[in-house]
Structure 1
Amino acid sequence: MKIRHTKRFKEIIYAFIRNGLSVFLFRLGLISRNASKHDTTDMNMQEIGDKLRLTLQELGPTFIKLGQIASSRRDLVPPMIAFELEKLLDHVTPVPFAQIREIVQSELEGPLEQFFSDFSEEPLATASIGQVHVARLHSGEQVAVKVQRPDIRPTMETDLTILSDLAKFLEERVDWAKTYRLQDMIVEFSRSLNNELDYRVEGRSCERIAKQFEKHPTVIIPRVHRNFSTGKVLTMDKIEGIKANDLEKLDEGGYDRKLIARRIFDSMLHQILDDGFFHGDPHPGNILILPGNVVSYLDFGMVGRLDNKLKEQFAPFILHMRNQNTEGMVDLMYEMGIISDETDLRAFTRDVDNLQNKYYDVSLDEISLGTIFIELFQVAYRHNIMIPTDIALLGKSILTLEGVISKLDPTLNMMMAVEPFGKKLMWKRYNPKKIIENSWVEIVANIGFLSRLPKELKAITTTIRKGKLHLDINTQQLKMFLGKLDQISNRLSFSIILLSLSILLAGLFIGSAIVGRSSILWQYPIIEAAFIIFLLMFFFLIYFIGRSNRK
């Protein structure tokens, strides 16, 4: 621990001790047995979670954010503790307006009155990183201005350094910290927090999601005013509406709760499945309902990302889950890279199957998609499987979304409602045009592999001759590996044959065109017949590749 961070480190230790969590510090090797004055054997998970929440709240912004992110990691954090961490209050004492004025003027490089005709001194909302003030531009537009708290970055950088040192210390001494790569998790957390400290990142996230709904008038995303925004000041349209969980006001205003629930659900799936970039914290406070049952999202500090491959795999994964196809789910998790070669595949498959059996013969309207995700993450935890951050955030978002939707429309079940989206994405994945594009890419890649093959074989042969070849074979994955190898070799061979035929046919066509004669053999048009055979082989190759991709 760096000497300049000793004071802050002591503050962290004393906060845990004061809140009755000293026994955990002792078990982690951070304090001696004598300093551990509290016994937690009689505490249940909820009490531990409550004490942990109070401790993190006391330690300030970095630890509040850490707790909020931890609440989304249901693969690592016990359910009752995660539930308590979700209650972490992000409200703190407001910063005096004189300091807010100074920050805004410093960031925008001019007097406050130069940019705003009116600026409320009382904050609309306060949080650990910044606070929001209502203001009005000289153009007459009402805006919400988020201003970062003064001198918050140095404190957070100190906390992140301490957390990094602790992660390294724990990985050297505690098995679970090494298994779950605690240092990598802290690096990911640091990256996320640094992004949140740069309001320009949040502004770009807001604009990206706004672009998704340009042609959807039923979903409104506040506009970012770039000319009045910096890394510490974010100016956006002020949205007036009713919180999604304020059912009394919605009913008084004559809003259609079922329609609102459907629009929230559809808009979130649009973010997840169509663009792969989604709001990571869709709790009721971040969703406002406007006249006409229009939905508006706020606060884009936490967002999730799914690449094209994960988007394509998400749809069949949901369908496999819905159809209780354990083998299909496990295969997809292996393709996603979630399951490592060290995983006991047979035991993991058995536990997933047991989870599926729990919901056997249960009607779909009684099944919670979010709950199944969380339970699946817990199964992964028992098998030391690390769920990627964005997948964990997706599961948390779905669970949060279900809580919002269930209050608006208890009859809307996400497990059933997601199926049309899944089928749509499946069709998109196996669309003939998409398959042809993927097939051509794979053919080119296989040709590249073939060109390198002699050199690779020579290197392997040299290694064998020198007696330096080491084999590490995992028998559980051997069958899967051999199957994939067989698919690749067959596809490669077939692709090469098809490419050779296409070159030969192209030569014959060109030759026939130059001579001006068609090739007739035994009274049959040979070139035309060959062309038909070539087409049949081409379509067979497309079918073959599509079929192998589904396995």
Structure 2
Amino acid sequence: MNSKKYIGIYRMYIIIWMSIKFLWKIFWFQKLNRIWDQDTERKWEELLKKMATEYRQRAVYLGGLLIKFGQFLSSRGDLLPASFIRELEGLVDRVQPVPFSFSKEIIEEDWQESLEKRIASIDEDPVASASIGEVYKAYLHDGTPVAVKVQRYRVREIFQTDFKAMRVVFWMLNRFTIFGKKADLPALYKEVVAVMSNELDFTMELENGNYFRKRFEDHSNVYIPEYFTDLSTGRVLVMEWVEGTRVTDISFIKRHNLDRERLARTIFDLCVEQFVNAGMFHADPHAGNIMIKQDGTVVILDFGMVGKVKREDVEHIRAIIEGFIIDDYDRIIASLRDMDFLLEGADTEAMKKMMRRMLTMYLSEDMSNLDATVMNEILEDMQDFVKDQPIQLPADYAFLGRAASMILGVLMVVHPKMDIVAWGKPVINEWMTGNQSKFGFYKNIAKETGQPLLSLPRALVEYLEDGDKEREWQRTKQQQSLWHHYYFFYAAMTFFIGIMTLFASFLMPASWQAVPVWVFYLVAGFSFAGTLLFSLKHAKMIKNIT
């Protein structure tokens, strides 16, 4: 076990220095690459990938908060580029186990008695080892098999140190980067601390597990393990041992003749019920936390990371969907404000235009081909849209997007031929009606039916703004920007060459004496003539634009 990882100053140095290095690389890249073309884009993607890879390697080495924070960042499409997020998605929360003696000491401290008094036997090799806890298989004195989750050695101390380092990093981002203007970083830091701190308290996970067990007790194909409250503490969690395997183990599914479509539908219904209704949802539903038994029962594990959909937000989400359907983008913006998605200074008119264009683009596609791959592409496009707008997702909804993406990946493995549209339509239809009348949603639609007739003048104006003239104007602006950079670059370059040539004519070494001086003057003259030509062209272009 590497003891350096437990030294606070060393950990803070690694985290802060890595962050400074990343910021410095980004700063110089932007300074050296003023013209953004395909080659620049390729280099930018490579730089982001290298930085994300380094972060992942440091996280695996140090463990602690870096792994959890990396998983948190992988859900923040509103803040980070897609290439960086893709690299972090491979950050698996598996680390080297600590010696069993450390875990035994923690168990006995919390139980205040020897391990043997409560447990008949325990396998000292963990079945799972993560950044916060390790899981062992054990047997109670009555022969009942149990899973014992024990908090890692000095993990609280490590997290507290990492929180301090992250606070310095967030301060630098807020003070010296554009993120300070685009995002509410102090609020984001508080969210990170709150979310990660909850995972350090196993009593929270026990309460979450009991909540989900009660919530899904009527689902015959879903099982939540039972927790042993009398044996569980803030650092030790004892739960029922369940025999099974990962839900993505296709050989297991074939060997036991399980219906892959039925299995996928069970997982789909289970997750949609969490995502669209008020209450908590499992925020980390990767394949390791979803098991299947021999009879096809789906077992859900690990409720340390959960999110919450607020009851009032369910109504706001319904209003957003209604707004898209009846073309009322003011309603969408109002709901986003009520949900605290929009930051101060948001250009709502630009956002409404962007949302309208995105909706038009997707509606023009063949929706019959909508599968999980297309859904992932839509989620990526939505992330790009969110990242470019003054939107900051609350942590719960960032986790919701990450969880949805994880489930899509699991479902694609279990049943690649699933029909998401056919499965989702009845669920969404029922959900949209809300708790009121069966026809509540359709009454709203009927009420808004006459709106287009009353808004015809506005529609004509929006057509002129958003139609071919708008697209032509956008192309013109892009061309003008490119010509601006072109003229400015070559005017500066020719002027630089002229100055350097004149200096060379006065300071040339003895070995250059054979070169006539007039050659230097000729080159300098052509250079300055080029400077004048490009400057005149640039001035003429600016005059025409004005």
* 8 Å CA contact 1:212, 1:275 repeated in 2: no
Match of 2:118 among 109, 115, 120: 115
Counterpart mapping for 1:350-429 below 5 A: 350-367=353-370, 368-429=374-435
Match of 2:303 among 280, 300, 303: 300
Give the aligned residue type for 1:77. Answer: L
Structure 1 position 179, deviation (Å): 2.7
CA distance in 2, matches of 1:316, 1:411: 32
TM-score normalised by length of structure 2: 0.71
Matches within 5 A, 1:167-246: 167-246=170-249
More deviation, 302-311/365-374: 365-374
Aligned counterpart, 1:263: 266
The equivalent residue for 2:152 is 149
Give the whole-Å Cα distance in 2 for the aligned partners of 1:169 and 1:218: 49
Query: 1:169 offset after TM fit, Å?
Result: 3.5
Task: Verify: 1:130 aligned to 2:133, yes or no.
Answer: yes
In structure 2, stretches of 5+ residues that fail to align are 1-6, 29-42, 442-546
Task: Rate the CA distance shift 1:349–1:92 in 2: closer, same or farther, 3 A.
Answer: same
Q: Check the 8 A contact 2:60/2:95 in 1, yes or no.
A: no
Match of 2:287 in 1: 284
3-state SS of 1:428 partner: coil
Q: 1:5 to 1:407 in 2, by over 3 A?
A: closer
Name the aligned partner's letter for residue 99 of structure 2: P
Q: Distance in 2 between matches of 1:162 and 1:341?
A: 28
CA-CA distance at 1:58 after TM superposition: 2.6
Equivalent residue of 2:239, what SS?
Answer: strand
Distance 1:74 1:430 in 2: 35
Give, in angstroms, the shift of residue 320 of structure 1: 6.2
State the one-letter code of the partner of 1:269: V
Does the 8 Å CA contact 2:121/2:139 hold for their aligned counterparts? yes
Amino acid at match of 2:178: D
Contact 1:370–1:396 (8 Å) recurs in 2: no
**C-alpha distance after superposition, 1:213-261 (max 9, x if no partner):** 1112211001111111101101111111121111122112101010010
Match for 2:407: what amino acid?
Answer: L
Deviations 1:418-468 (A, max 9, x none): 232222222234338999xxxxxxxxxxxxxxxxxxxxxxxxxxxxxxxxx
Question: 8 Å contact 1:318–1:422 — kept in the other structure?
Answer: no
Q: Is the 8 A contact 2:45 2:83 kept in 1?
A: no
**Is the contact between residue 16 and residue 165 of structure 2 (CA under 8 Å) also seen in structure 1?**
no
User: 1:391/1:350 Cα in 2 relative to 1: closer, same or farther (>3 Å)?
Assistant: same
Q: Determine if contact 1:142/1:238 at 8 Å carries over to the other structure.
A: yes
Task: State the alpha-carbon separation in 2 of the partners of residues 381 and 169 from structure 1.
Answer: 20
C-alpha separation in 1, matches of 2:389 and 2:322: 24
TM-score between both structures, scaled by the size of structure 1 = 0.70
Question: For the Cα contact (< 8 Å) 1:144–1:237, is it kept in 2?
Answer: yes
Q: Which of 158, 171, 196 pairs up with 2:161?
A: 158
The whole-number CA distance in structure 2 between the counterparts of 1:125 and 1:6 is 29
Q: Distance in 1 between matches of 2:217 and 2:152?
A: 33
Amino acid aligned to 2:308 = R
Comparing 209-218 and 413-422, the one that deviates more: 413-422
Runs of 5+ unmatched residues, structure 1: 30-39, 436-551
Kept in 1, the 8 Å contact 2:16–2:169? The answer is no
For residues 512-551 of structure 1, the aligned pairs below 5 Å read: none
Whether the aligned pair in 2 keeps the contact of 1:374 and 1:395 (CA below 8 Å) is no
Secondary structure at the residue paired with 1:43? helix
Between the aligned partners of 2:368 and 2:405, the Cα distance in structure 1 is 15
Q: Deviations over 1:147-172 (max 9, x none)?
A: 11111111210110121133223323
The match for 2:485 is: none
Identical counterparts, % of pairs: 29
Give the Cα separation in 2 of the matches to 1:331 and 1:421: 25
Distance 1:76 1:155, change over 3 A: same
SS at match of 2:312: helix
| Residues 415 and 317 (structure 1), Cα distance of their counterparts in 2 relative to 1, 3 Å cut | farther
Residues 71, 91 of structure 2: 8 Å contact kept: yes
Amino acid at match of 1:181: D
In the TM superposition, what is the alpha-carbon distance from 1:325 to its structure 2 partner?
7.6
Query: In 1, Cα distance between the equivalents of 2:322 and 2:284?
Result: 25
The separation in 2 between residues aligned to 1:322 and 1:418, in whole angstroms, is 17
Letter in 2 for 1:378: D
User: In the aligned structure 2, how far is the partner of 1:41 from the partner of 1:80?
Assistant: 10
What is the SS of the residue equivalent to 1:288?
strand
Name 2:500's counterpart in structure 1: none
- After superposition, the Cα gap between the structure-2 partners of 1:416 and 1:381, relative to the gap in structure 1 and judged at 3 Å, is farther
Instruction: Specify the SS of the correspondent of 1:418.
Output: helix
Secondary structure, counterpart of 2:299 in structure 1: strand
Alignment of 1:84-123 (within 5 A): 84-123=87-126
CA distance in 2, matches of 1:429, 1:336: 20
Q: C-alpha distance in 2, partners of 1:334/1:369? A: 26
Contact 1:312-1:425 within 8 A present in 2 as well? no
1:174 Cα shift? Answer: 2.4
Q: Which has the higher contact order (CA 8 A, sep 6+)?
A: 2
In the alignment, does 2:58 pair up with 1:52? no
Q: How far did residue 74 of structure 1 move?
A: 1.5
CA contact (8 A) 2:283 2:400 kept: yes
Question: Distance between the aligned counterparts of 1:277 and 1:58, measured in 2?
Answer: 32
Helix, strand or coil for the counterpart of 1:93? coil
1: CA distance between counterparts of 2:346 and 2:307? Answer: 27
2:17 is the counterpart of 1:22: no
Q: In structure 2, what is the Cα distance between the partners aligned to 1:77 and 1:415?
A: 29
Contact 1:219 1:296 in 2 (8 A): yes
Q: Give the CA deviation at 1:338.
A: 1.9
Write the distance in 1 (CA, Å) between the matches of 2:264 and 2:366.
21
Q: What RMSD, in angstroms, separates the aligned Cα atoms of the two structures? A: 2.9
CA distance in 1: counterparts of 2:325 and 2:369, whole angstroms: 12
The one-letter code matched in structure 2 to 1:89 is V
